[in-house]
Structure 1
Amino acid sequence: MSKYLLLCEDDQYDRAVFAEIFQEVEKEYQLVMLEEGSEVMPFLATKQRRDAYPALILLDQNMPRKKGTEVLREVKASDDYKHIPVVIYSTHDGHELASESKALGAVTFMSKPYDYNEYIALIKTLMTLIV
């Protein structure tokens, strides 16, 4: 698989909007989407080589089965995956969640966009976080 970002978002509308704008803005990376936090670790486990891992993981915080910070904790506890940059994002714009996310190893916390220009800004910021 070519270079890609992994988006884990349970809201179908949010996934569709993000995917549409991502495709318009970003030409070098692809977008792979999962619907639930519990799918992230099994997805990563299917990747046989380090160069097949996502360049960045974007996790929605508020998912029904497994929250973004729970997935973040699992990713950062794994010797195989802890190098992958992870971003938590949420409609909840709380300093406490941002602090918790960073303490668990997220490169940053971001608020979910509400309009087209905010999505573009979010995507451009995400691309600067890829190492």
Structure 2
Amino acid sequence: MNQNSSAVANSATKLFIAEDDLDDQLLIREALQESGVSESDIVFAADGMELLELLQSHDFNPALIILDLNMPKMDGREVLREIKNSDQFCHIPVVIFTTSSNQDDVSFAYRSGGNTFFTKPALFDELVETMKTITKYWFEKAVLPN
């Protein structure tokens, strides 16, 4: 995190983001940086399998996972179930961030242990505002496990 940022106070904070669309990755990265998150604290996975591999290969758990539902290989629904059924990872907050606003997806996400559900906004300014909301809540207001 950069020292001038009030959005993310803990320099050990990491965000793991599962997003298969490269354009969306770029936009999310830029929006997070505008929200005060350092590039070095953002880790992307291109699909659910890669996200689970990242979780298992690191010595630390991320402070937060941002998860797209619609991805190749292993979609976000499967990943969410894997994370929330794992003793090792179930405590990590998972924010669903997807193009879907289908009520079945929303219900599934919450029933399966998702902590928050956001539909991806169409405009970049709205994306920045959403990322600011996410980072302000999870890194300034909420108390997270170590």
TM over 0.5: yes
The answer to whether structure 1 residue 12 and structure 2 residue 22 are counterparts is yes
- State how far apart, in whole Å, the 2-side matches of 1:125 and 1:68 are: 22
Share of identical aligned residues, percent?
36
After superposition, the Cα gap between the structure-2 partners of 1:19 and 1:28, relative to the gap in structure 1 and judged at 3 Å, is closer
Residue identity opposite 1:53 in structure 2: N
SS in 2 for 1:62: coil
Which residue matches 1:114? 122
Counterparts of 1:96 and 1:108, CA distance in 2: 15
Give me the CA root mean square deviation: 1.7
Report the CA distance between 1:111 and its aligned residue: 0.2
Output the amino acid matched with 2:73: R
Runs of 4+ in 1 over 3 A off after TM superposition: none
- One of 52, 56, 62 as aligned partner of 1:41: 52
1:69 aligned counterpart, secondary structure: helix
CA shift, 1:47, in A, is 2.0
Of stretches 108-117 and 4-13 in structure 1, the one that deviates more from structure 2 is: 108-117
Could you tell me which runs of 5 or more consecutive residues in structure 1 were left unpaired when the two chains were aligned: none
Deviation (angstroms), 1:28: 6.2
Residues in 2 aligned to 1:77 and 1:27: alpha-carbon distance in whole angstroms: 29
Of 24-33 and 114-123, deviating more is: 24-33
Counterparts of 1:36-75 in structure 2, within 5 Å, are 36-48=47-59, 52-75=60-83
Change (3 A) 1:44 1:26: same
Q: Tell me, what secondary structure is at the counterpart of 1:80? A: coil
Separation in 2, partners of 1:120, 1:9: 17
Distance 1:27 1:10 in 2: 20
- Cα deviations across residues 21-80 of structure 1 (Å, max 9, x unaligned)? 2112124682111111111111111123xxx21111011111011111110100011101
The match for 1:129 among 115, 135, 138 is 138
SS at match of 1:129: helix
Q: How many residues align?
A: 128
Aligned residues of 1:7 and 1:31 also touching (Cα < 8 A): yes
Cα deviation for residue 113 of structure 1 reads 1.9
